[in-house]
Chain A
């Protein structure tokens, strides 16, 4: 019995450490009392999807609109996310953000149990008809198209490769937009897309990039948090890279040309103000070039030809006018 107790104590200690590692809360500063909770599938500083929403919330906190931000990241499994979402709602957070299209089913089940709590779900265009759920999405195909145009203009081989995660939601939108952009600029281009069917397998993303380069690609792009592996290969092989979701220049300043960066703070600010005014949900938000939610951030260290930059600027203006 004594040994069993020791073993159980060890197990609980381990679980406590894991729990401590997986969640964080930042309640320093901020002069209001509004509390935001974020539940997201990857690390809060993944230079990709999760970081984009964390950065946006941090901006609202800096502005004083929000007093506290709690984050539970790396909840790739919807069941784990559901626990976190419910916990935050029970703890009285004013806005609980389920930042992952895979969390929809859980949110649909949880939100009706907390009618006084506002929830946000993205990327998605569905609020389930619930009055306390906002949904949000990124028109990532817009930035994808602009970067595809630049990629085609820079490619010497006429082969531009893409490393994708799973062919759904935001990732699919970006990849489709990127491919369309390449073909707008160079209809004869070859745009192989390698969906590795994982959001987290860095090694597989790395080998996918190697495969694309081996098949002639001299410009690459990709989306989701596992692309850090692909960027590493691009850097080693001297192949240009276009990033998305967050600015990926720091990963490889030599080869990153530009990144499409998500600025959720504009729509997040609107949601927070709505919640403060008593409107808890029922609306769909979308970030676009037109509302400054999407921004192309160039790598100052990359010598981008002026004519290619002009192609991008023209494309952005055209998209804004559509």
Chain B
């Protein structure tokens, strides 16, 4: 048991938690924009899957991981647009249409993989960045400063997202159409345009999140995300619809997952409790969600289509 309390375990768990958190963090941040504007997109996982495949395929064909990331973002953008058409223009029931997008992404990503690739072929992964001086600090360096560039980009997106939501006119409009769309409309804010914009942001970030996942793993297979998109949606609630909260939720989920894995490797978790331990990340997230949910209110117009004059 004393093996748990070593610096080595802490270093391994924190580094692993950061890696596991990144796709969740990106997808959740994008979805935060959508939900703050009043649109719930349950199709995040499907967009992540198509982003994952397109990112993987672009790297497979070009050998350039950054082209892969761009491809994933473009596909995410297109699906964000589709989600906007369905939720904003067609005013579809958001829960059902989101599931439709998820199923589309799940089926189409696998179909494209089967038709265009077939058997899993490994691709290049993001190179690790060795940050001078910082990466060489014992333990700290290994935990925080020996990751790939996309990890730092993902965490940099959090303060940027916070700034955009809280300190810009666009962010003010997003919050306004999510809370009081009629009032925003009366003041000349185009509810449809703002919601389209958040769907494009959310779709792009979900696509990028999938691309980051596939390229980090260096492989693609059907249902690669394994439901990560749904965790990302839950993390928006967990994070009380705020980018920093979303980041903390993603890190908590990653940390518990990483800790369970490390304890299994060290054989500290008995084999017959393995199943139970595997549920720990979900259970802890649900408990935290229940704790947080009572303290923060969702945007008043969340899931409600906007029709002028109604």
Contact = CB atoms under 8 A, between A and B. Distances in A.
A complexed with B: yes
A41 B310 CA distance: 48
B261 A211 contact: yes
Nearest to B103: A18
Interface in A187-215: 192-198, 200-204, 206-208, 210-212, 214-215
B78 interface: no
A14 interface: yes
B304 interface: no
A76 B287 CA distance: 28
Contacts of A15: 100, 103
Interface string B197-228: 00000000000000001000111011110101
A45 B104 contact: no
Interface residues of B, number: 53
A210 B19 CA distance: 11
Contacts of A195: 264, 271, 274
A73 B111 CA distance: 11
B107 A22 contact: yes
A228 B221 contact: yes
A163 to B, nearest CB: 10
A212 B93 CA distance: 46
B257 interface: yes
A14 B261 contact: no
B226 A203 contact: yes
B162 interface: no
A321 interface: no
A11 B90 CA distance: 13
Nearest to B219: A228
Interface stretch (A229-237, A263-271, A290-298): A229-237
B266 A192 contact: yes
A194 B118 contact: no
A7 B97 contact: yes
B226 A200 contact: yes
B267 interface: yes
Contacts of A166: 275
Nearest to A235: B122
A161 B265 contact: yes
Interface string A38-70: 000011111100010000000000000000000
Interface in B109-150: 110-111, 113-114, 118-122, 125
B183 interface: no
Contacts of B108: 17-18, 21
A83 B101 CA distance: 23
A47 B221 CA distance: 11
A22 B92 CA distance: 26
A202 B219 contact: yes
B12 interface: yes
Contacts of B223: 74, 76, 200
Given A10-B97, A43-B221, 14 more contacts: A7-B86, A11-B97, A14-B104, A43-B110, A47-B119, A74-B222, A192-B267, A196-B261, A197-B278, A198-B278, A202-B221, A231-B122, A250-B119, A251-B122
26 contacts: A3-B91, A7-B97, A14-B104, A14-B107, A17-B104, A18-B103, A21-B110, A43-B221, A46-B120, A47-B120, A193-B271, A194-B261, A195-B264, A197-B278, A198-B278, A202-B217, A202-B221, A207-B19, A207-B20, A208-B265, A211-B261, A214-B265, A232-B217, A250-B121, A251-B122, A252-B122
